[in-house]
């Protein structure tokens, strides 16, 4: 008995029952009977898609946009089919037309963001995903996509805000476990990340990617034996695999090979991945890893070529996010380091000491000067606890500006006792929220660029011990240049050896200028001397801080290994005993450093590195 041509239920039932050919036949019968309604055409397209006949499905969706040109959903479906057929520019036009009709359509914005990722535009993807999240803030899928896009573009704090409260969400659907687990790992919530990735191992579609990403997470947490067991169980990367899956496998294999001192194997894997890499973010990440492998192999030219291209890609992304940093001659640390003169400092009103005598211990210096090593040494003592790297002092500067209209550092003299107490209370609340400060211990606040916040420290914590980490400026600059720092400001700062040299000079001159008349309770500790006489300098630190038992500090590497996640690039070095591997690395790249030595000359002289 023929079905009524206006009854869609048999077509739907055929699709749901896994019979797309039957569904197609029923849909075409309706068309032959002259019924050309929107629902019937949509079901026909779905039946064709289910048979992998994307070209024919695309033609049906094109017909739907002609018949219903003012329906955003039809432009959304048409754009998605165009994406599936590889017609990315046409897909972009379809999504744009849909968004002209419905600017806040979350589904259109989601698909437009996915398209921008495919087109290699992470900044465009970020804009789309953030707009989609704003349109539907309750959607977990949109929140996860927005977080991952922020991570790709170096906006990690915002990603943390987007996914940090995930445990309070409704149950996470199986299809979101992989991406949410990865996002949490990238923002430092590694215990939660591991739990979700282990759940994703049970999902057939995501199991291999989950295995690769879990291996990378474990390597990042210095659990190398567990990471190796997972990597050994991965299939070999193959051309027929989806690109994202193949990249996950190669990235896990290469990261572990570098940790296990197999740079030749890592280089081969990464060069193969680079040959097929699409999009600037993937290429940039591969190039930074490849440079590390080439450096280990002492192929200095290849390392520098990889770094040069990686930084060019990174700077282009950063400049799109913050166009002002692309202005020629922009020096981020020079803009941040506004000087205070001695007369203004002398005019500060005297304040009573802070109520809490246990002031923090501050570790400052230029990035890659050994600050993480010092942090782990101190954190190993049971009377001290660190909170990993946080920008809480900068938060106080922002509070000064927003709450009271006071600029930094000129406005510090206008802080009375009540305002200083308010800033210290805000600082304490931020520290408490990290959950890292153990009760009854003294806080260690390690943030290298707090070197630019010395005047603020002197206003709020004038007696606080400050440890200035020093290391040969050229070793510092080389190490920074080799890092994949994700924030926009650091991307620009590290874009060339010259910009790094100028940034180093700006930061150190700021310290030298202010320390001369502020006379902080500071200890200057050279990395080379610390490594040369580790027990002696640990004893010096203990004396500075009034500590008796130095034995735990001498075994800092054991303590660091037990901590798991360490946010800085030194996570692999600080779980090893002190050694001289990183001393004088720059001399292998002496030809590259020759043009910037004149920039550094005054500070090389000042710190005694002029030889």
How confident is the model over 532-550, as pLDDT tens digits?
A: 999 999 999 999 898 888 8
Share of the chain above pLDDT 70, in %: 95
384-386 sheet: strands from edge to edge: 384-386, 442-446, 361-365, 466-470, 522-526
Q: What global pTM score does this model have?
A: 0.86
| Residue 243 or 183, more confident | 183
For the stretch 291-345, pLDDT in tens is 999 999 999 999 999 999 999 999 888 888 877 766 777 777 765 568 999 999 9
Residue pair 56/84 in contact (Cβ under 8 Å)? The answer is no
3-state secondary structure of 486: coil
Say how many C-beta atoms besides its own lie within 10 A of residue 301's C-beta: 11
pLDDT at 611 over 90: no
For residues 76-101, give the mean pLDDT: 94
3-state secondary structure of 526: strand
H/E stretch holding 442: strand 442-446
Burial-class residue 242 by CB neighbours within 10 Å (0-12, 13-18, 19+).
Answer: exposed
For the stretch 349-395, pLDDT in tens is 988 776 666 789 999 999 999 898 899 899 989 999 998 788 899 99
Residue pair 565/581 in contact (Cβ under 8 Å)? The answer is no
pLDDT at 216 over 80: yes
3-state secondary structure of 221: coil
For the stretch 219-228, pLDDT in tens is 988 888 999 9
For residues 554-567, give the mean pLDDT: 76
| Of 276, 306, 281, nearest in space to 293 by CA | 306
Residues 6+ apart with CB under 8 A from 451: 364, 365, 366, 468, 507, 508, 510, 511
For the stretch 95-127, pLDDT in tens is 999 999 999 999 999 999 999 998 889 999 999
How high is the pLDDT of residue 336? 57
How high is the pLDDT of residue 335? 53
CA angle 376, 368, 219 (to 5 degrees): 60
Q: Rounded to whole angstroms, how far apart are CA atoms 232 and 266?
A: 15
Residues facing 442 on adjacent strands:
384
């Amino acid at each position: 008995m023929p079905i009524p041509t206006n009854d869609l239920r048999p077509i739907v039932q055929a699709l749901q029952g896994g019979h797309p050919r039957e569904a197609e036949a029923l849909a075409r019968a309706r068309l032959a009977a002259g019924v050309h309604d929107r629902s019937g055409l949509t079901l026909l397209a779905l039946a064709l898609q289910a048979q992998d006949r994307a070209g024919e499905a695309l033609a049906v969706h094109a017909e739907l946009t002609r018949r219903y040109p003012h329906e955003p959903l039809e432009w959304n479906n048409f754009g998605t089919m165009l994406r599936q057929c590889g017609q990315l520019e046409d897909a972009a036009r379809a999504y744009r037309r849909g968004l002209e009709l419905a600017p806040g359509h979350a589904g259109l914005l989601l698909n437009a963001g996915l398209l921008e990722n495919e087109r290699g535009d992470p900044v465009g993807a970020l804009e789309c995903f953030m707009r989609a999240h704003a349109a539907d803030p309750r959607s977990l899928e949109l929140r996860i996509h927005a977080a991952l896009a922020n991570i790709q573009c170096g906006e990690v704090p915002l990603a943390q805000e987007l996914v940090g409260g995930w445990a309070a969400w409704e149950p996470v659907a199986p299809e979101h476990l992989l991406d949410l687990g990865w996002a949490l790992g990238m923002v430092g919530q590694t215990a939660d990340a591991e739990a979700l990735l282990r759940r994703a191992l049970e999902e057939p579609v995501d199991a291999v990617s989950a295995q690769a990403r879990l291996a990378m997470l474990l390597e990042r947490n210095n659990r190398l034996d567990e990471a190796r067991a997972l990597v050994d169980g991965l299939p070999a990367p193959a051309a027929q695999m989806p690109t994202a899956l193949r990249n996950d496998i190669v990235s896990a294999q290469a990261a572990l090979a570098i940790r296990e001192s197999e740079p030749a194997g890592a280089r081969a894997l990464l060069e193969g991945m680079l040959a097929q890499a699409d999009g600037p973010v993937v290429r940039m990440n591969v190039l930074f890893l490849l440079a590390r492998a080439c450096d280990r192999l002492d192929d200095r030219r290849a390392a520098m070529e990889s770094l040069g291209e990686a930084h060019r890609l990174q700077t282009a992304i950063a400049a799109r996010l913050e166009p002002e940093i692309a202005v020629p001659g922009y020096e981020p640390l020079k803009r941040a380091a506004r000087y205070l003169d001695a007369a203004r400092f002398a005019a500060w009103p005297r304040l009573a000491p802070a109520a809490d005598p246990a002031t923090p211990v501050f570790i400052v210096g230029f990035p890659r000067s050994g600050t993480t090593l010092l942090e782990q040494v101190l954190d190993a003592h049971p009377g001290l606890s660190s909170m990993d790297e946080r920008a809480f002092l900068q938060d106080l500067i922002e509070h000064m500006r927003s709450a009271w209209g006071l600029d930094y550092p000129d406005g510090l003299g206008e802080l009375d006792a009540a305002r200083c107490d308010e800033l210290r209370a805000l600082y304490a609340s931020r520290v408490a929220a990290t959950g890292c400060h153990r009760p009854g211990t003294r806080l260690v606040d390690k943030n290298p660029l707090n070197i630019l916040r010395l005047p603020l420290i002197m206003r709020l914590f004038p007696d606080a011990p400050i440890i200035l980490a020093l290391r040969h400026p050229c070793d510092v600059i080389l190490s920074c240049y080799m890092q994949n720092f994700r924030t926009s400001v650091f991307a620009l700062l590290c874009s060339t050896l010259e910009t790094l040299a100028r940034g180093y000079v700006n930061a150190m001159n700021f310290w030298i200028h202010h320390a001369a008349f502020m006379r902080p309770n500071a200890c200057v500790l050279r990395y080379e001397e610390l490594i040369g006489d580790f027990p002696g300098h640990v004893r010096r630190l203990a004396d500075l801080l009034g500590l008796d038992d130095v034995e735990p500090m001498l075994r800092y590497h054991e303590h660091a290994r037990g901590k798991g996640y360490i946010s800085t690039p030194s996570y692999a070095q600080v779980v090893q005993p002190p050694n001289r591997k990183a001393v004088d690395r720059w001399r292998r790249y002496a030809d590259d450093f020759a043009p910037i030595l004149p920039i550094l000359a005054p500070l090389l002289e000042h710190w005694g590195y002029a030889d």
